[in-house]
Structure 1
Amino acid sequence: MAVESVQTAGLGGASGTLTALVAADGSASHRFLARLTTGIAPMRDLADAVHQFCLLHARHPDVIEQALGHSDEGATAAWMAEAAAGFAAERAYIVRLVAAAGPLPSTPGQAQSEAAIAAQRHALDMLAQSDRTGCADGTVLALVLDWPAIRALLDIAGERLGIDPPASALPPPFETATVIDALAATLPVERAMLFGAQQMLAQHRGLWDVLEARASARDAH
């Protein structure tokens, strides 16, 4: 969804714009996530999602840690440090889920999937290390706002695997909204922040597309 479309929807402030972007273009609106979280999804599809999100986000340094080293925005410094600590716990949770889920489900076209996710990791690395003021911050803000939808899927997988989901330590939405509005003090920074956010959401949607294609390939095999 274009930023311009969101901005004309009558939402106030940068936090309203970014929240609207996440609602429109984030994970929660993807049909495959809806399929996995409605009813009883095949365990192989849940396991595949856990494995692929592990490949994308359970690296060290992760996206937030990289951005923390590149952002010099005082408005996001404390929030970013809190987000980095919280996401480290999320990474540990994903690793536990992967260990419990066992091997990656056998899927036709595995090499193409690996190449697609490697490209996504590279794109996220570039966003997190961007020298454009506000871009890395927007990338992380969108990740944190989009994560609850992903976390809902991870928790379903955890429950099926006998793992009690830990409480999230990511910053709460009201803190994130305050940071967004403080960061968007000038139009160039706001635009860079929204660009980073859009690109992060595009990578997540791309991964859901990959997961949907992989599930279809397994069903047809």
Structure 2
Amino acid sequence: MAIVATDMQRAGDGASSIATLAASDGCARHPWVAQLTHPAAPGRDLADAVHALCAVHGRHADLFEKAGYRAVPDLDQRWLAPAAGGFARERAYIAALTAAVGPLPSTAGQAESDAAFAAMRHAFDMLASSERTGCATGAAVALLIDWQAFRAILDAAADRFSVDTPDPALPDEVAIVRIAAAAGATPAILRAMRFGAQQAFAQHRGLLDLLEARAIARNHH
């Protein structure tokens, strides 16, 4: 997914800040996304990605729900409730894919990977529970942005393993631009939003780095 940075920059400082982060830190341009969405991507690598996304984002409690519990002054958060509902449908999609792709591919260093996935879950829990007003909302916006790339990976796996692909349940790029542009809060809150987004992007890049390393380990096993 390519974020329309110029549109977001016209919308305001909060939007342009997250847009700049998305362009530099978001996972859409991570090389492993291109590898996994290529028609020749190995099925074991797609299966590994599905299991990893399930491990990190497949639980019932999610970032959108938790962010919705924390009111942010002067910020329109009405999008969080439908996003939470949409992400519940995305989790159901992940669950169906996880069953379809079969067992987790055997990979050296699985215990270390499991610990990394647990650390990522903990990081998102910390962002969602942050007392810093705006942090959870910024992380939620980043998840919306990165999910466009993750959804492409899931759809590639669905095509490979003959699973029906449901319609996307989360906002598209244009809607994400509007959400990020809606930031009309104080500079301190905008900084907190940027921090939350930055941390979420970093976790997702780490996830893709780990998936790439796991594929290399399998190929050299």
Give the TM-score of the pair, scaled to structure 2: 0.90
The amino acid across from 2:36 in the alignment is L
The alignment partner of 2:65 has SS state of helix
The answer for the alignment partner of 2:213 in structure 1 is 213
Superposition pairs of residues 93-172 of structure 1, within 5 angstroms: 93-172=93-172
Unaligned segments of structure 1, at least 5 residues: 1-5
The amino acid across from 2:57 in the alignment is H
Tell me how far apart the structure 2 counterparts of residues 129 and 75 of structure 1 sit (CA, whole Å): 18
The answer for the alignment partner of 1:15 in structure 2 is 15
The amino acid across from 2:80 in the alignment is M
Tell me how far apart the structure 2 counterparts of residues 151 and 208 of structure 1 sit (CA, whole Å): 14
The alignment partner of 2:105 has SS state of coil
Question: Does the Cα contact within 8 Å between 2:139 and 2:200 map onto a contact in 1?
Answer: yes
The alignment partner of 1:183 has SS state of coil
Question: Does the Cα contact within 8 Å between 1:183 and 1:189 map onto a contact in 2?
Answer: no
Deviation at 1:73, TM superposition (A): 4.7
Classify 1:193/1:113 alpha carbon distance in 2 versus 1 (closer, same or farther; 3 Å).
same
Offset from partner CA, 1:21-62 (integer Å, 9 cap, x none): 212211111111111122411100000000000000010112
Is the aligned partner of 1:84 residue 2:70?
no
Question: Does the Cα contact within 8 Å between 1:45 and 1:215 map onto a contact in 2?
Answer: yes
Instruction: Count matched residues.
Output: 213
Tell me how far apart the structure 1 counterparts of residues 144 and 179 of structure 2 sit (CA, whole Å): 12
Deviation at 1:216, TM superposition (A): 0.6
Q: Percent identity?
A: 53
Tell me how far apart the structure 2 counterparts of residues 87 and 124 of structure 1 sit (CA, whole Å): 15
The amino acid across from 2:170 in the alignment is L
The answer for the alignment partner of 2:41 in structure 1 is 41
Unaligned segments of structure 2, at least 5 residues: none
Give the TM-score of the pair, scaled to structure 1: 0.90
Tell me how far apart the structure 2 counterparts of residues 147 and 135 of structure 1 sit (CA, whole Å): 18
The answer for the alignment partner of 1:189 in structure 2 is 189
Deviation at 1:74, TM superposition (A): 6.2
- Of the structure 1 ranges 20-29 and 143-152, higher mean CA displacement relative to structure 2 is found in 20-29
The answer for the alignment partner of 1:63 in structure 2 is 63
Provide the alpha-carbon RMSD of the alignment.
1.8
- Of the structure 1 ranges 96-105 and 174-183, higher mean CA displacement relative to structure 2 is found in 174-183
Tell me how far apart the structure 2 counterparts of residues 76 and 211 of structure 1 sit (CA, whole Å): 35
